[in-house]
Structure 1
Amino acid sequence: MEYIIYDLEMTNRLSEIIEIGAVRITQTDEGLVDGDRFQTFIRPKADQLNSRITSLTGITNKDLLNAPSFEEAVRKFRKWIGTENYYLCSWGPEDKWALITDSAFHQTNPEWIINHNDLQFSFSMLHESEKGFRYGLTRALEKIGAEQEGNKHRALDDALNTAKIFKTMFQDITLVKNPESYLESKMFEPEKLVYQSKPEEAAASPFAALSKLFS
């Protein structure tokens, strides 16, 4: 079984995906083994990259100018994922919905978005479920005593940091399987979110406001 820990960056809140970053973790007889990494920029079709997102992520219009389209990037990502059985794992539910909505917008098949698990929810349930809060990625890393790797709000770096957390809680969580039909049936029923982050982290996050939209 393989675990694809991935992260996305977008042009704006609830807008087009401009970067995919992922790390592969494989389960072997010896335990979890780090595998190869994936990163690609994506050229947006309709939205524009604004100065706020550039300041937040460091991604520029130059990075996206010759980047593949969403369709091409997804083909590349799916080829990298391969044919082994896999779970898709992200920090929070937003990235799943971004993949689904962008697939609809670009008219690509979402059948590969399966066995999706929200690691933020799992981690928060393990550590502070009675308060109903979700940990931000930075606070979760602090909780487990891990160093932040790379830059915040870059897809591959965030995926690598999420993978660190995943490995510490792997034995304590049960990952769920959910086929494409599950994603389609839940497409317009996103989870309610309550974020627990440092004030400066919450202010910078383009996703924190999702709790207001989905409540």
Structure 2
Amino acid sequence: MKTTDHILIIDLEATCWDSRPPRGQESEIIEIGVCVMDAKTGEISRNEGILVRPQYSKVSPFCTELTTITQKMLDEEGVLFDDALDILRAEYHSEHLTWASYGNYDLNMLQNQARRFNLDYPLSDSHINVKTLFGCVHPTIRKSVGMSRALGELNLKLEGTHHRGVDDAKNIAKILHWCLQNN
């Protein structure tokens, strides 16, 4: 494993639709929620949501309802995907830290989109699937459960807006810290 004093937590949001994507559009990352958690104390030292302008899709009304992210926000504040990856490398040392996400969706989405855009993958190979870890460590939950339910099982409050990467990264950190303390 890479450095484990601090763990990078990532939660992605992507373009989505209530059914199939419109012709010519495909799901792509629109927010990289990130925080750095001290593995011993659970303290969050950095937290942000990097908004990413999609290149091959538009934010649907369904997606805005789910995430609160609008196309206008991305057009005005978003960066290109390769710039977002550069932020992860330069500001979060993403290639040198163990990183975690809730499930494998984020891992697969980042790998696939980096490959599709012909970019170098920005994260280390040391990944913790918090969803799987929680299922292994929790005394009564032996199957995978959603992040919100996992927080509820731990009597922890979901803070912020669910399905906003900036907030979900912090919520995932709470679950991971509990798992590390109880493993």
Query: TM-score scaled by structure 2?
Result: 0.84
Distance 2:169 2:141 in 1: 27
Relative to 1, partners in 2 of residues 1:129 and 1:97: Cα closer, same or farther, differing over 3 Å? Answer: farther
1:86 CA displacement: 1.3
Secondary structure in structure 1 of the residue aligned to 2:113:
helix
Whose relative contact order is higher, 1 or 2, with alpha carbons under 8 Å and at least 6 apart? 2
2:21 counterpart residue number? none
Note if 1:5 corresponds to 2:18: no
Q: Secondary structure at the match of 2:62?
A: helix
Measure, in 2, the Cα distance between the counterparts of 1:150 and 1:160.
Answer: 9
Q: Which of 38, 45, 48 does residue 58 from structure 2 map onto?
A: 48
Q: Take 2:115 and 2:139, find their aligned partners in 1: how far apart are those partners?
A: 35
Give the letter aligned to residue 14 of structure 2: M
Q: Would you say the 8 A contact 2:98–2:126 is kept in 1?
A: yes
C-alpha change, 1:153 and 1:27, in structure 2 (3 Å) is: closer
User: Which range is displaced more, 138-147 or 75-84?
Assistant: 75-84
Shift in Å at residue 167 of structure 1?
1.1
Structure 1 outlier segments of 4+, above 4 Å:
128-131
Provide the rounded CA distance (Å) in 2 between the counterparts of 1:155 and 1:62.
Answer: 18
Q: Determine the structure 2 residue equivalent to 1:22.
A: 34
Where structure 2 has 5 or more consecutive residues not aligned to the other structure, the ranges are: 18-25
Give the distance between the partners of 1:84 and 1:60, measured in 2 at CA: 30
- Residue segments in structure 1 that go unaligned for 5+ positions in a row: 174-215
Letter in 2 for 1:134: S
Q: 1:130 to 1:50 in 2, by over 3 A?
A: closer
Identity %: 28
Looking at structure 2, the residues matched to 10 and 163 of structure 1 have their Cα atoms a distance apart, in angstroms, of 20
- Specify the alignment match of 2:154 in structure 1: 144
How many residues were matched structurally? 170
- Letter of the 1:95 partner, please give it: D
TM-score by length of 1: 0.73
Counterpart residue number, 2:167: 157
Report the Cα offset of residue 111 of structure 1: 5.5
Partner of 1:106: 117
Question: Which residue identity is paired with 1:5?
Answer: I
Deviations 1:96-132 (A, max 9, x none): 000000101111111534211100010012226885x
Distance between the aligned counterparts of 1:111 and 1:76, measured in 2? Answer: 10
